[in-house]
Amino acid sequence: MSGQVRLKHQLIAAELAADIRAGRLRHGERLPGEHALATRFAVSRNTVRLALSELGDQGLIATHSGKGSFVDFDGRSLDDRAGWSHALAAQGVRTEVCVVRLDLVQDAELAERIGVDDDEFVAVDRVRKLVDGAPISFERSRVPAIGELRRLPEIGLGQRSLFEVLRSVGLVVERGEQWAALHQLLPEEARMLDRAPGSSVLRTRRLGRTHAGEFVEHVDSLLDPDRFQLHQSFGGDR
């Protein structure tokens, strides 16, 4: 009997998940109540609760006591190999970027972790906002302090993205690693993202290399979890 109930709530969760991912249920939209869903699927309210719990575990909805369940996923599948600007633009999301730091820094711990001899990097820290909207990410990039890149603190990025600057000197990310976890904002991070200190965001750390293994970029991103989830397709041998 328990197996049958499990199958029912999984089928319901799968159908609702399909509606969410296809955009039929949009980000921020309130799902029908338990009674309405139980009637729609001809199941008990307990089965509906199990289905909603599974959707919550998948990060697709958020349930608030006394208010109901709301879509917490905006349907965006992002591949950020070319940087967040390109990934978001490919999904039709218009953003603007404010560079809050462009400097030469020394970081022996990072140099050791990524396996390079030189512990000097160019730091490029940016806040990304929706056009006429709120901040959605705070990104801290570290790139090699070599050649023309070393002059970036003097000349700036101009109208180019960091991806375009790196590509202009022959550094293009072809493979690498990425980690993702929840992160509680420190006061300075919270100020950048216009959120309360201690609130949770999605943190990704991405190490990009050329196909030959040459270091290109390390970027630590703090992302608004209400805006998108990550589906990562990255790297591999050719």
Q: Which domains does the chain have, with CATH numbers?
A: 2-71 (1.10.10.10), 84-223 (3.40.1410.10)
Position 106 scores a pLDDT of 96
Position 1 scores a pLDDT of 35
Element (H, E) at 192: helix 187-193
Place of tokens 């109540």: 33
Position 13 scores a pLDDT of 87
Query: Any idea what the Cα angle at residue 169 is, between residues 167 and 175, rounded to 5°?
Result: 50
Position 159 scores a pLDDT of 86
Position 2 scores a pLDDT of 38
Place of tokens 């029912």: 8
- pTM to 2 decimals? 0.62
Low-confidence ranges of the chain (pLDDT < 70): 1-6, 22, 74-93, 226-238
β-bridge pairing 68-71 and 61-64: antiparallel
d(CA 146, CA 163): 16
Strand partners, 207: 177, 218
d(CA 31, CA 17): 12
pLDDT single digits (tens) 162-172: 988 998 999 98
Position 238 scores a pLDDT of 44
